[in-house]
Amino acid sequence: MALGFVLVIVVALIWLAGANPLHAFSGLIQGTLGDSYVIAETLVTAAPLAIVALGVMPALRAGVFTIGSEGQLVIGAMVSTAVTLSFPGSGPEKLAIGILAGMAGGMLWALLPALLRAYLHVNEILSTLLLNYIAGHLLLMMLNGPLKANAQIATPRSDPWPAEAHLPYLLDGTRLHAGVLLVLALLVAAMIWTRTASGLRYRLHASHPELSSRLGLSEPRAVITTMLVAGAAAGAAGWMQVSGLTHTLYPSVGGGLGFTGILVALLGGLNPVGIVAAALVLGALDTGAQGMQIGTSVPASIAEVIQGLLLLAVALVVAGRSLKSPGSKQSPAKPEQAAQMKEATP
């Protein structure tokens, strides 16, 4: 029923834009599944979302509410660009150095809010949000300064990456790059981790921090580890966007991927398979909305509206379910809730 509401609102919005909803929906589907090119586009749009989301999953499970993926992704892309452009090396070396630099950049940007949260009790929601804006300006500063392209170009951007630093394409005629394999590897790793004792301790930390602390997971350790993991993943996603897609660092590299990635993690119920599924749905929605914008007069920002409405609908459905059955407190979609409740208290 909640999905029905979302659908009604979306139809109303399309009608408001002066388009025929049926045409718009066929445009959406054409833009997502029309041919192998757009299917590949959907996959490469979903890939960074999945990586960011799988990266914040441990933090959100542990009740650490980091919203800094956007800035960490930007800094990851920036550091990996700086390193890739300054160090020589063969193909595989370049790729390895690039992703490591991206991860290091993302972790560096996550370290400050992690330490502030762990030792000075600074609300991590706010510190990470503020750092996102600082990261955006820092990127611009670097692209107008040390990382500025040698060619005379008015808009800020870096030099193009050398070809050996590009992620190889998997399918001719499309932009499907090898980065999607990284998603599969992360998915497997996340599925294994959630079933280990460590995974359980982090999850316990959200609802019973004292208990998890007695089991060997102290508060500072939980906060710092999960935030660094989230930073590393977002940084790797930033590297992947340049290495796999644009091959040049532009100021627009973040493009809201960090924010949407967090939404993907929540929509996926903080469980690895759910997250990858949610990333595919939102990736399809994004590329589909682009297709819809080309075919009809419907602006592509409708994707953002649908994403927000979906999250709202899911939050209401989860709440409705737990209201009906008080015994379902241990249901899989529940722990993050208790956790975030606690974390919101400054």
- Binding residues for other proteins (CB under 8 A): 13, 16-18, 65, 67, 116, 120-123, 125-127, 129-134, 137-138, 140-141, 144-145, 259, 262-263, 266, 297, 299, 301-305, 307-309, 311-312, 314-316, 318-320, 322-323, 336-337, 340-346
- In terms of Cβ atoms closer than 10 Å to its own Cβ (0-12, 13-18, 19+), residue 139 is buried
Q: Which is nearer to other proteins, 3 or 189 (CB)?
A: 3
Residue 113 C-beta: closest distance to other proteins, Å: 9
CB of 142 to other proteins, least distance (A): 9
Residue 192: CB atoms within 10 Å:
11
Q: Cβ 66 to other proteins, closest distance in Å?
A: 12
- The tokens for 247 are 């091959």
Q: Give 46 or 309: the residue with its C-beta nearer to other proteins.
A: 309
Q: CA-CA distance, 318 to 326, in Å (whole number)?
A: 12
- For residue 18, the minimal CB distance to other proteins (Å) is 8
Q: Is residue 162 helix, strand or coil? A: coil
Given a contact cutoff of 8 angstroms between Cβ atoms, the answer to whether 212 and 61 are in contact is no
Q: What angle do CA 250, 142, 74 make, to 5 degrees?
A: 55
Cβ nearer to other proteins, comparing 61 with 177:
61
| Shortest reach from residue 176's CB to other proteins, in Å | 27
Identify which of residues 63 and 179 has a Cβ nearer to other proteins in the complex.
63
34 vs 255 by CB, closer to other proteins: 255
CA 17 to chain centre: 29
Q: Which is nearer to other proteins, 214 or 329 (CB)?
A: 329
Which runs of consecutive H residues, i.e. helices, occur in 168-218? Answer: 179-194, 197-207, 209-214
Sequence letter at residue 165: A
Q: How far apart are CA 260 and CA 275, in angstroms?
A: 12
Helix segments in 34-160, DSSP class H: 36-61, 69-86, 91-120, 124-144
Q: Report the SS3 class of residue 177.
A: strand
By beta-carbon proximity to other proteins, the closer residue of 87 and 133 is 133
Q: How far is the CB of 307 from other proteins (least distance, A)?
A: 5
Least Å distance, CB 202 to other proteins, is 18
Closer residue to other proteins (CB): 181 or 319: 319
The label of the residue with tokens 């030099």 reads 159
Q: Tokens for 97, please give them.
A: 């150095």
Let me know the angle formed at the C-alpha of 304 by 298 and 308, rounded to the nearest 5 degrees: 130
- Shortest reach from residue 182's CB to other proteins, in Å: 26
